[in-house]
Structure 1
Amino acid sequence: MDKELRQFWKRIFGFNWKLGLVLILIVCIPRFILVLDANATGSYGAIGLIMTISAMVPFLFLSKHGRTAIGITKPRKYSWLIIAFVCGLVASLFLYWLGHILYGNSYENWYGYIGKSYNIPPAINHHDRTIMFIMMAITGMTFSPIGEELFFRGIVHSSFAKSIGEKYASIVNSSAFALTHISHFGVVFIHNKWELFTIPTIIWVLGMFFMSILFFLSRKQSGSILGAIICHSAFNLGMIFSIFYLL
C-alpha cells in the first residue's frame, strides 16, 4: 500500500513513476507555455501562480508520511545548509563567468537575456538599483526555490525513486527541470520574433541539469528539502547579483 499518498489519490495513482510523469506533464508543459508568453508580453504574473501551484502539489497529493518521505522535515545535518548555500552561490557565479567569457553582454548570454525581463532602467542611480536588487532578490530567493524544489526534488523525484531508484530518479527530474528552463533561455523572443540559440541553449540546459543534481545532493546530504531550497535560493541570488552588478 502507498502510505505516501492521500486516501483519495490511492484510487487513481500509485506512488511511482507514473505519478511523477503525470505531474511533469500537467505542470511543466503549461509552465513552459506561460513562461514563453511572459517573455513575449512582459507580463510575469502567471509565473508566480505556477510556482505557487508547484509548491502546493505535495500537500495536495501526499499524506503526512509522504511529505516526510520527500524531505519536508527537519535537516539531519544543519552544516549542510551552509554548504548548500555556498555551493549554490559559487555555481551561479561560475555560470555568469562562463556566459560572460563566451558571449559578453549579448542576448546569447543566458543571464543577459533573463535580465531583460527585470526592466532595469539604463540610467538608474545606485540607490534605486540597490532597492530594485533587494526586491528582486527576495522574490527570486523565495518563490521559485520553494515551488521548484518541493515539486522537482520533492514529489517528482521521490515518486520516480520508488520505481527506479535514487540515481536514475535524479537523472529524470534533473532532465525535466533542465528542459523546462529552455523557456527561460533558449527559445528567445527578441526584436518581436522568436529565435533559438542552439549552442548557448545546450550550455544552459547542461548547466541547469548539473544545478539540479547539486540541489538533489543538498537535499540528500542535509536530510531535508530545505537543503535543496537553500542551494537554489543561493543560486538565484548569485544570478540576480550578476544581472544587476556584473553585466
Structure 2
Amino acid sequence: MENELRPFWNRLFSFDWKFGLFLILIICVPRFFLVLSANSSGNYGYIGLIMIISAMAPILFLSKYGRIKIGMTKTKNYSWLVIAFITGLFASILLYFLGQFLYGSSYENWYTYIGKSYKIPSAINENDKAILFTVMALTGMTFSPIGEELFFRGIVHSSFAKSMGNKKASIVDSSAFALIHISHFGLVFINNKWSFLMQPTSIWVLSMFFVSILFFIFRKRSSSIWGAVICHSAFNLGMIYCIFYLL
C-alpha cells in the first residue's frame, strides 16, 4: 500500500489529523508572531520566507503519491480555472465595498490597514504608482497563493480529510487560515501601540473563512490544487487593486 508520507516521516507520523495539527503548530504559530512583528517593525522579509517554507512542506514531507493525493497535478478542466479567477476577483472587490460601507477609510477597514504596509507615497505620479502596483500585484499573486494553498488546501486539508472527510477537513483548514489572518488585520499596530478591533476583526475572520471555502471548492472542481491557487491569486490581485486605486 502506497503511503502519502516520505519513508523518514512515515516512521514518525501517520498521515492523519495529528500530522495536520503538527503542521499547523510548526508553521502557523511562528507565522502569526512574525507577521505581528513585521507590522510593528516594517520589516516584511521573513514573511516571504515563511511562504516559501509553506510551499516546500509538501515536497519535504510527502512522497510522489502523497503530492498527487493533495492535488499537485494538472487540472482536467481548465474552464474551472477561469471561473476560479473571476470568482476570486469578485470576492475581493465585494470585501472592499463591505469595508467601505461599514468603516470608510479608517483603520477599522481591513484594506486600509493592510494597505499601510505597502508604504505607497502620498505624492506619487501615476507612472510610478503603476510600477509599484505591478510589483506588489505580481508578488501578491505568487508567493502567498502558492505557499498558502499548497499548505492549507493541500497538505493540511488532506491530512485532516484522511481522518474526518473533506467537509470537516475544509472547516478545519479554513478556520486555521482565517484565524492566522488576525495577525494581518485584527491585532493592529497604530500610533505605536497595539489594539484589538473586536467587531471588524470578527467580520474579517468570517470573510477569510468563507474565502477559504471558495478556494477549496475550486480545488475540488478543478481536480487540482491549482484551482485554489488561481482563485487565491485573483483575490489578492483584486485586493491590491482596491488598495492602490480605490481607497
Q: Report the TM-score range of the alignment, normalised by the length of the smaller protein.
A: over 0.9
Aligned length: 247
Structure 1 residue identity aligned to 2:238 = G
Structure 1 residue identity aligned to 2:3 = K
**1:63 maps to 2:63:** yes
Residue 45 of structure 1: how far off its partner (Å): 0.1
Cα deviations by residue, 1:98-147 (Å, 9 ceiling, x for unpaired) = 00010011100000000000000001111110000000000000000000
Please state whether the residue corresponding to 1:122 is helix, strand or coil: coil
- Runs (4 or more) in structure 1 with deviation over 6 Å come to none
**1:126 maps to 2:126:** yes
Residue 2 of structure 1: how far off its partner (Å): 5.9
Identify the residue that residue 189 of structure 2 maps to in structure 1: 189
Structure 1 residue identity aligned to 2:75 = P
Identify the residue that residue 43 of structure 1 maps to in structure 2: 43
What's the % identity of the aligned pairs? 71
Matches within 5 A, 1:97-176: 97-176=97-176
Give the TM-score taking structure 2 as reference length: 0.99
Cα deviations by residue, 1:3-30 (Å, 9 ceiling, x for unpaired) = 1110001110000000000000000000
- How many Å separate the matches in 2 of 1:77 and 1:213? 19
| Residues 2, 14 of structure 1: 8 Å contact kept | no
Please state whether the residue corresponding to 1:47 is helix, strand or coil: helix
Tell me, which stretches of 5 or more residues in structure 2 are unaligned? none
Identify the residue that residue 202 of structure 1 maps to in structure 2: 202
Cα deviations by residue, 1:66-104 (Å, 9 ceiling, x for unpaired) = 000000001021100000000000000000000001001
- How many Å separate the matches in 2 of 1:160 and 1:6? 18
| Residues 71, 154 of structure 2: 8 Å contact kept | yes
- How many Å separate the matches in 2 of 1:74 and 1:56? 18
Please state whether the residue corresponding to 1:108 is helix, strand or coil: coil
- How many Å separate the matches in 2 of 1:76 and 1:149? 19
Structure 2 residue identity aligned to 1:126 = E
Give the TM-score taking structure 1 as reference length: 0.99
| Residues 2, 10 of structure 1: 8 Å contact kept | no
RMSD: 0.6
Identify the residue that residue 16 of structure 2 maps to in structure 1: 16
Residue 157 of structure 1: how far off its partner (Å): 0.1
- How many Å separate the matches in 2 of 1:36 and 1:104? 24
Cα deviations by residue, 1:167-217 (Å, 9 ceiling, x for unpaired) = 000000000000000000000000000000100000000000000000000
